[in-house]
Structure formats: C-alpha cells, structure tokens
Amino acid sequence: MSDIKTNSSTQGESWTELAKTVIYAGLIAVVIRTFLFQPFNIPSASMEATLLVGDYLFVEKFAYGYSRYTFPFGGWPVGKAMHGRFLSRTPHRGDVIVFKTPQDNSTDYIKRLIGMPGDHIQMRDGTVILNGKAIIRTRVDDYIEKIDGQERHVAQYRETMPEGVSYLTLDRDPEGMMDNTGIYVVPADHYFMMGDNRDNSNDSRMDVGYVPAENLEGKAEFRFFSIDESARFWEIWKWPMAIRYSRLLTPID
C-alpha cells in the first residue's frame, strides 16, 4: 500500500482543520463574552464627559456575580426561570455599571451607582445629598464640546464620594428640572443610578427608577476604542481623522 497521501485527501484534512479552528475560536469568543468581558458601545450623551458617544468599552461580566441578565439567553424561557444572583459580589458607590431596567429588559443602560440599599438620596441645587450630607462637589475647568462646528462651554464639576471615588459631572442647566428633588429611599436589594451628564440623563430620578440587584450586567472597566460623530465604526477609511486617540485603551473612572 502507498504511504503517500493524495492532493484531494490533503486538501480535505486542511479544510477540516480550518473548520475546527474556526469553531474553537467561536466557542472561546462566546465563553469570554458570556462569562468574562463583553464589548459595548455608547449611543447617548447621558454619561458625558466620562463616556462619549462613539466610545467602545469592555464590561466585566463577573464583577458582581451572575444573574439571568448577565447571559445572552436572559430573555429566553430558560433565562426567565432564573432568579437572584450567584457568586454575588456587592458593587461600590461610584462604579459605572451596565444594567437592565425593570421596565425594559431589552435595552442596556449605563449609569453611575450613587445610592446603595437603604440610602437616602436627594438633589439640592444640583448637589447630591447622600444620607443627609452633601457629596463634595468642586468646580473645575469647563467641558468643551463642538456642536455644528461651534465650541460650547459646559460647567463641569468633580464629585467625590465619601469612600474617595472621584469623577466628573456636567451641569448644563443651573436650574435643571431634576436639580431639586424629594428624598429617594433606596429599597433593599436595589440601587440608585445617575448619569454624569446630570441634566441630560434618564436615570433613577426619572423613568429608570430603582434598579434591582438582579438586573446588574457588569462593571464598565476600560475603553478600547473611540471615534467621533464624523464616522461610523464600519467606515474604516474615516478612522485616521475620526479616532479619539487620547481615549484608546484608557480606564473608566
């Protein structure tokens, strides 16, 4: 018998190995996306200036443990049968979190965690009052944005949580609709979320309401890519002028 393989059998084995490689790579990608890190992009301005429209980021899926909302099958019958969290970890005030709302399980929201279960939250003249004490809010340099080619200056503040977490917020309207509110008491196993762009964010002060612990999907960790409004992600030929190079591979505060 000949020990020389024919060209057709060699080609067949090559295609088989290629198919296996593609399948293995796909399975690894699915495991990483489901259990470890999932990419998200920012479609709205509610988290400016921390996150901009066109930012692409990785969310750590295991940061707070897992629930049915963590998995892609969360909306399927098997997912709906799951309740609570397992391998649960408690988030921290100041974390930037991706979550589902109780009203809309089909849409991902991203906001900053301001209130823990049992906290009393209120807004007074644009300042967050946490359990009766004002969160430190310091005026910093204006946030500068371009609209239709024109520069616009927006008042910017640095907030510092009692635990020391610090981040930037915008105050577009000193007399904004939600700058003064009643007191919100965060229920057990729920969290209070707010956007950093305080006058342009639908958050726990409005329709989003309190977010159940079960609805947390993960913690936003870092940006891996960012392009401005002059290009879409697939318009590669526009990237050289559209990429925000200073935001590439940067952590999210």
Residues annotated as part of the active site:
46, 111
| Residue 40 burial by Cβ neighbours in a 10 Å radius (0-12, 13-18, 19+) | middle
Residue 209's contacts (CB-CB under 8 Å, 6 or more residues apart) are 101, 102, 103
Note the Cα 237 to chain centre separation in Å: 27
Note the Cα 36 to chain centre separation in Å: 15
Strand order in the sheet with 166-171: 136-147, 150-160, 166-171
3-class SS of residue 173: coil
- Rounded Cα distance between 97 and 67, Å, is 14
- Rounded Cα distance between 214 and 33, Å, is 19
Phi, psi of 189 (to 5 degrees): 60, 30
CA 92 to each of CA 74, 102, 203: distance values in angstroms, whole numbers, following the listed order? 24, 21, 18
Which amino acid makes up residue 214? E
**Do 109 and 189 form a contact (C-beta atoms < 8 A)?**
no
CA neighbours closer than 13 Å in the CB half-sphere of residue 25: 6
